[in-house]
Amino acid sequence: MVDRLSGLDMSFLCLDGAERPMHMGAVLVFEPDEPASAARVARTLAHRAARVPQLARTARDTWLPFAGKVWAAQPNRNVAGHVHTHTLSEPGAPEQLERTVSALMAQPLEQGRPPWELHVLDGLSGGRFAVVIKMHHALADAAGAISVVGSLLDGADPCETTTDARQRTLIDELLSWPAGARRAGGQLAAELAGGAPRVRERAQRLAGVAAATATAVRPRSLASPVTTLFGESPRREWTYVRLDGAELTRVRKHTGGTLHDVVLSVIAGGVGRWVREHEAAGAFYAEANPRAFIPVSMRRRRSADGRAGNQLSGYLCELPADATDPVARVHRVRAAMQRNKERGPGSGAGAFPLLADAVPAGAHRLATRVLGRASPLLFDTMVSTVPLPNTTMRLDGAELGTVYPVAPLALGQALSVAVAVHRGDVQIGLLADPRVLPGVDGLRDEVAKAGAELRNAVSAAEG
């Protein structure tokens, strides 16, 4: 069976460029019991990667469909050339890790070969080491990438892994918000794949999505602090925030809604604090609240060996950065997300990724970058949730301590946010274009303060 790229995968490739590389990533920090050898870890990763079919694929041009692409295995590939080692200078502080990851995420993946890289970072404080993963979004979505990464780690026998009850509960809470979305997405996917009798209904649905998207355009976003129509740079700054999962769960029980609603409200609070601080310093920023695009996976297509292609929809949610009451922020986010879930991911302006499969491959090559540059008129930032497995994971015997996700920057966006749960805590990765949004470490600090502010407000309300 020919494994053609979906329309959405084509769009990811067409959006890719030196100033907007469309790879996602993750930073996995391992805690060995004894000093680890970066070279040995790299050899282990290369050996295991050579056995993963998905990591042997590269996109090749086709005549039929015209100007399309297919996934093809690359013969005689040099797997070791995808795996690199780096040593941080002493003391291996978090700031050094952030600078190294920022530089790695700014570098586009090499064209003409399988679009992924692994970087082993040695010399972290406490004897730890990290693995930085870069994988093009066309190759896999977040769930697919986690599956691939799992095949590179120790413990193939699931009986050897353990499950942390607190971790499982947090993941269930965080992912509960799109449960109905996934069911609705599966129903819509079945309809879209139903053949000729479904063509008219499919066209009507897509027309409705297109109309909703058109009505959601906001020219005022031209002045958003996290958006730019012009002036992107190839530079990147990455940082992370860790929030206590138990505290967030306590907040959720007090406010209602989901853990995802609480996390979105903390992000909104951090953005609001950051904007107000810069306004006080004399910088000009728009008063409008930023609008977030929240991807929803709607997997439908599987190739002969069971791999799944990208199939995304999403929701648009205004982040109430203007709200100074942290509990009120949660309620506003909860109400907005509830309206989204009532409509479902197959309709509304947030479903615009579904339109990609209706566009011929040749049209993607001609128009995707032009249309992509207009994305700030629709949303200001992306907040994606990465589903992690509920198991203890190891590499070369070292236990995985923390996972920090990294989401790509779309055209016109200066900030992307990725959220994951690991070891009972919520990890938030922030990737920014420093030319447009300087000082992402300041935003990181404000998000942490917004989390503490919300926790204290709930504590006070509970007496």
The full set of domains in the chain, from first to last, is 7-160 (3.30.559.10), 165-386+411-462 (3.30.559.30)
3-state secondary structure 258-271: CHHHHHHHHHHHHH
What DSSP state is assigned to residue 5? P
Number of other residues whose CB lies within 10 A of the CB of residue 61: 10
Give me the helices (H) in 284-410, please.
326-343, 361-373
The residue among 278 and 443 whose pLDDT is bigger is: 443
pLDDT tens sequence across 334-389? 999 999 999 888 888 888 888 887 788 778 887 787 777 778 888 889 999 988 88
> b/e for 263-285, b at 16 or more Cβ within 10 A?
bbbbbbbbbbbbbeebeeeeeee
Half-sphere exposure of 302 (CA within 13 A, CB side): 8
Residue 216 is predicted with a pLDDT of 79
Tokens of 98: 């952030």
The string of pLDDT tens digits covering residues 301-320 is 444 334 446 678 899 999 99
Q: Identify the CA nearest to 238 among candidates 384, 413, 103, 431.
A: 431
DSSP state of 19: S
Cα angle 84, 86, 89 (rounded to 5 degrees) comes to 180
| % of the chain with per-residue pLDDT over 70 | 82
If one compares 83 and 4, the residue with the highest pLDDT of the two is 83
Mean confidence (pLDDT) of the chain: 83
In tens, the pLDDT along 241-258 reads 999 999 999 999 999 999
